Amino acid sequence: MGKVKDNAGPLARRPDNSAFKQQRLPAWSPMLTASTVLPFFYCLALLCMLLGVWLLITVQGTQELKMDYTEAGTCDRCFEKRQNVSNALQTCDCQVIFPIENTLKGDVFFYYGLRNFHQNLRRYMDSRDDRQMVGRKQSLKNPSSYCETFSRDQNGVPIAPCGAVANSMFNDSFTLVYHRPEGVAVQVPLFRKGITWYTDKNIKYRNPPKGNQTLAQAFQGTVKPLYWQKPVYELDPSDPNNNGFINDDLIVWMREAAFPNFKKLYGILDRSSEPFQEGLPAGNYSIHISYNYPVQYFRGRKEVVLTTVSWFGGQNRFLPVAYLVTSSLVFLLAVILTVIWWNFGKDGKNMEE
């Protein structure tokens, strides 16, 4: 019989003798010298500086007006009224008068803002039922345990939408009025729909299937959240297609903010009619507010923001300033390395000497 070949020797598992498996592929190992490193640092500092200046000029081209209305104008009485929990479901209307000194040209965005409201708390963010928000009947009748203690009312009836996020939905409403020089008051038209992300409006939020029923019948067997004044199927009485879980204001609110001071889009200026075709003209304005949202319990403040935008967004100077600071630090490091090289390494001697 022939001798059996032994495949268990020390070379049996050796990789193939190829350039890839034997690590013989060509490679480039740059030599980091002062003549290559220092120009790179100076070029990087110049690039960051140019980007920072460019973005800063872009941001400076936007216009923004902020106004805290928590206790401004006639809203002070509403602020005091909201300190009593028993008045939570009672409406209170107020008005704030303010000027716009320079015309806000182009598209103008109307935001409401909150301060010291922490939407980024983990337990708060988890307190929602996303399956319910896509219209699943089973989740509508049996809310997720994540919604506790805002899943059912005191009688055990399921809440729609459930959870702390929906329960704390911002519910102040605004009417912006322009007072023309001739003394005529004109309501500023705002687009109140189309202010959400496309994926939110068309994918993440859907109403329960209703068939031949009305939307109210589709939500039958549920109740509104504890601090809401209207059930979810009556959020926008003027538009039946903007009710339920696909209401724009609800969708905007349900996208939690990352910081305690934030603003959320309320409307966009409709520039189809005079005198707003060029934007918001300079002059006197007033905001009529349905003051419903209490902020005393978390020591917060409320504000409205009128702003124009550029391709870069609103008036946010963080990124331009970050580029300029980075440019300064890189330039300072480059200068320090240049001084070290000039004193110790220019003639090729070791720095240890």
Q: Residue 180 has what pLDDT?
A: 92
pTM of the predicted structure, to 2 decimals: 0.82
Print pLDDT tens along the chain (353 aa). 455 555 556 666 788 888 888 888 888 887 888 888 899 999 999 999 999 999 999 998 889 999 999 998 899 999 888 877 666 667 889 999 999 999 999 999 999 999 999 999 999 999 999 999 999 988 899 999 999 889 999 999 999 999 999 999 999 999 999 999 888 999 999 999 999 999 999 899 999 988 888 899 999 999 999 889 889 999 988 888 899 999 999 999 999 999 999 999 999 999 998 899 999 999 999 999 999 998 988 899 999 999 998 888 888 889 999 999 999 999 999 999 999 888 886 665 544 44
Parallel, antiparallel, or unpaired: how do β-strands 190-191 and 262-269 relate? antiparallel
Give the total residue count for the chain.
Answer: 353
- What residues are paired with 179 via a beta bridge? 185, 284
Q: CA 198: distance to chain centroid?
A: 14
- Closest-CA residue to 207 (of 231, 227, 191, 228): 231
> What ranges do the domains of the chain cover?
67-102+113-260+281-301, 319-346
Quickly list H helices, the chain.
34-60, 75-81, 122-126, 130-133, 137-141, 164-167, 198-199, 215-218, 248-254, 318-340
Q: How far apart are CA 174 and CA 161, in angstroms?
A: 24
Q: Which residues contact 204 (CB under 8 A, 6 or more apart)?
A: 130, 133, 134, 251
Parallel, antiparallel, or unpaired: how do β-strands 108-115 and 173-179 relate? unpaired
Q: Residue 351 has what pLDDT?
A: 46
Contact 262, 114 (CB under 8 A): yes
Q: Residue 343 has what pLDDT?
A: 84
The pair phi, psi for residue 74, each rounded to 5°, is: -95, 10
Structure tokens at 63: 């216009």
Cis before 149 (ω within 30)? yes
Q: Residue 352 has what pLDDT?
A: 46
- H/E element, 290: strand 283-290
